[in-house]
Structure 1
Amino acid sequence: MDWSLRTRAIAAGRPTEPGEPLNTPIVPTSTYVAGGGFTYARESGTPTWEALEEAVGALEGGRATAFASGIGAIAAAFDLFPIGARVAVPTFSYSGTRGLLEHAVKQGRFTVRQLDPEDVAAWEAAADEVDVLWVESPTNPMLHLIDFAQLTGRHAKVVVDNTFATPLAQRPLEQGADVVVHSATKLIGGHSDLLLGLTVARDETLAQELRDNRTRTGATPGALEAWLALRGLRTMPVRLAEQSKTAALLAERLSRHEAVTRVRYPGQGMMIAFELADAAAADRFCAALELIVHATSLGGVESLVERRGMYALEAHVPQGLIRFSVGLEDPEDLWRDLSRALG
């Protein structure tokens, strides 16, 4: 059946044979008795990984592969491309991605072009000139939107980091992208208790290359982590719906607060970026919060804030910018904490 995405998040990857457990169990093993479908976990996987991959693949509309972390998935996607590949990436994007590319440039492996996320003409030109377009939409941490559907089907391969949007908001493979990556540590897991990454490929050839990369590098997820990510995925639609409602409410209120100079909110999702006067004001704000946690990462049930300009690879973002991951707390409690700290 062509189930809705919300239903797929619940049903995909679930055992169906009579007598099987309702939920795929944790299978904590490295090796298997010879003669079956599994041999050694690094090479053939585990039932727990397979269930997670089936579920995420059903949501994204492709073939998923699980990795030990989000950055592991990103590194594997870059390994799809040969030495000398020309890569375009948003100027404002995940620092881990740009750190990998910076290292690749030092090694002479890639040449990299950084593009303003809002420069549509530059992205359209790059689609015909480079080999890889690495897209985030919304971007991390500035929440720019990039219309990648206009960039597919041209010379460049298109890889989309879909961590912020999730397949509930956009399905890049349907719009012509070649590979999607996720940090499942974030919204898919949803509880800030695991490290795991995923790639999802549009065709089997790319999917097999990604699986082969995982086998070669050993960037395999743990059985517990895969199980936790699958359990988190089951509730992602309802979590994200509630977080998005709260985020829209808080973004509107923040835009009217005298201490806030700018609010960036793409109109959906649970991420807000807002700017205070300078780094000192942002640091005072983070220190004054009582309910919202000052910590890195995002996508969990708890609300988190961070001044991203404090990191070397993000020193070019506005120094007063706060990245705000909206959780599942009562919206009025969150607003009381925000308004008091802003005051």
Structure 2
Amino acid sequence: MAEGSRERWADTGFATRAIHAGQDPEPRTGAVAVPVFQTSTFAQPAVGEHLGWDYARSGNPTRDALEESLASLEGGRHGFAFASGSAAQDAVVRTLSPGDHVLIAPDVYGGTYRQFRRVHQPWGLAFDPVDLADLDAVVAAWRPDTRMLWIETPTNPLLNVFDIAALSEIAHERDARVVVDNTFATPYLQNPLDLGADAVVHSTTKYLGGHSDVVGGGVVTDDDVLAERVRFLQNSLGAVPGPWDVYLVLRGIKTLALRMDRHCDNAQACVEVLRGHDAVTEVLYPGVAGHPGHEVATSQMRDFGGMVSFRVGDEALARRICASFEVFTLGESLGAVESLVEHPGAMTHMSVAGSPLEVPGDLIRLSVGVEDVDDLTEDLRQALAKGTASTRDL
């Protein structure tokens, strides 16, 4: 990471850093966009000497730019880019040792639970879900071998919110690290390192990339020891992104601030439609005053994000509503410019079916995009009407 460039932009605003940190004009040509260094190896001036890069798995100038950008946006010293969010998570968890114990939220992303249950647990890691909103429950679940607290806030797909500062205090008193999956909030809305977390992970596939055209992940930390280990694992395991994927994430980051403002505004408009509809039994959105995590979200987030979940009381009805949208696209993933709708129980969270983390069958998740808000709210109304009309016809 180019320390000089990071320090240069350290005191500027978020949108300025998103455009410039790590992305200074290329010195040889003056190119204002970071070049795609599509190379696997680098010429070396002498045996045992290189110009900063020797082999692309270990480092690449395009990747360096993204890693510096991620670190700048999250306010950390060390940034790492990975081939996916799952790969980023895996690297952080692998800094632990067999026999260690991890506490996770009871409704983490299905892929996170799958990785802990089917990859890390057979390797020798123990983990337990616990309600992270209940600090007494967290303390009660703590074990002498607990070494990490894995926080996802807001959670996927139930949009639960957890107090990062309070949980970090509990963990640090017990000599454990705190990792926060910040994918839903993004660094524009929430900065876990400032709240006491030791590391932040992202699926850069989502809001950071923002255009449904790339898969990637990232890790940011201020912990020098943790950074050294993550860097070793990044190089040794090789789950690194190619330079073109890195370029796409960098391009997405430049408009993150603009997009997140629109995502949040559009989500709030959709929430108002849902709250006024008879078929909707519950709206899950931290911006709603009655949400159990509303006060915490207000204190640690700048806005409430573009993800909205809601329940309709019946799984068959939920599936019909999901199939009735015209502007929202039925599909997995989230955080891009186009609006998406999905049925978590049958799509992104099938891996937790039958487990303590199983999600309700009547749950629908919206990733609210940046289209014209009137088109989104009208589409939401007609999908609800069509779905419920089908119910009456049965």
TM norm. shorter chain > 0.5: yes
Partner of 1:26: 36
1:210 maps to 230
1:219 corresponds to: 239
Question: What is the distance in 1 between the residues matched to 2:101 and 2:256?
Answer: 35
1:294-342 CA-partner distances (Å, limit 9, x unpaired)? 1000000000011111243343211111111000111111111111111
Deviation digits for residues 178-200 of structure 1 (CA, Å, limit 9, x no counterpart): 11100000000000000110011
Q: How does 1:246-325 map to 2 (within 5 A)?
A: 246-267=266-287, 268-310=304-346, 311-315=349-353, 316-325=358-367
RMSD: 1.5
**Aligned partners of 2:149 and 2:179 also within 8 Å:** yes
* Aligned counterparts of 1:301 and 1:273: Cα–Cα separation in 2: 18
Provide the rounded CA distance (Å) in 2 between the counterparts of 1:312 and 1:173.
31
Answer whether contact 2:157 2:309 (CA < 8 A) is retained: yes
Alignment partner, residue 13 of structure 1: 22
Q: Cα 1:38–1:337, aligned 2, differ >3 Å: closer, same or farther?
A: same
Percent identity between matched residues is: 43
Which position in structure 1 is the counterpart of 2:158? 142
Select which of 48, 65, 82 maps to 2:97. Answer: 82
SS in 2 for 1:309: helix
Deviation at 1:266, TM superposition (A): 1.1
Q: Is contact 1:135–1:158 with CA below 8 Å preserved after alignment?
A: yes
User: Which stretch of structure 1 is more off in the superposition, 253-262 or 107-116?
Assistant: 107-116
**Among residues 52, 56, 61, which one is paired with 2:75 in the alignment?**
61
1:101 aligned residue: 116
How far apart are the structure 2 equivalents of 1:154 and 1:106? 25
Larger-Rg structure: 2
1:238 counterpart = 2:258? yes
Where does the alignment leave 5 or more consecutive residues of structure 2 unmatched? 1-9, 46-50, 288-303, 386-394
* Secondary structure of the structure 1 residue equivalent to 2:366: strand
Give yes or no for contact 1:201–1:207 (8 Å, CA) kept in 2: yes
> Matched residues in 2 for 1:149 and 1:161: separation?
14
Measured after TM superposition, the shift of residue 49 of structure 1 is 0.4
Moved more, 182-191 or 155-164: 155-164
| Residues 53-111 of structure 1: CA deviation (Å, up to 9, x unaligned) | 11110011111100011100010010011111111111111111110110246515111
Q: Distance in 2 between matches of 1:319 and 1:19?
A: 56
CA offset digits 1:133-172 (Å, max 9, x no partner): 0000101110000002112232221000000011111111
Specify the SS of the correspondent of 1:21. Answer: coil
The total of aligned residue pairs comes to 342
Q: What SS does structure 1 have at the residue aligned with 2:187?
A: coil
Unaligned 5+ segments in structure 1 are none
TM-score, reference length from structure 2? 0.84
Deviations 1:191-243, CA, capped at 9 Å, x for gaps: 00001100111122211211111111110101100000000000010001011
Q: Which amino acid aligns with 1:162?
A: N
Distance in 1 (alpha carbons) for counterparts of 2:376 and 2:124:
46
Distance in 1 of aligned mates of 2:93 and 2:139: 21
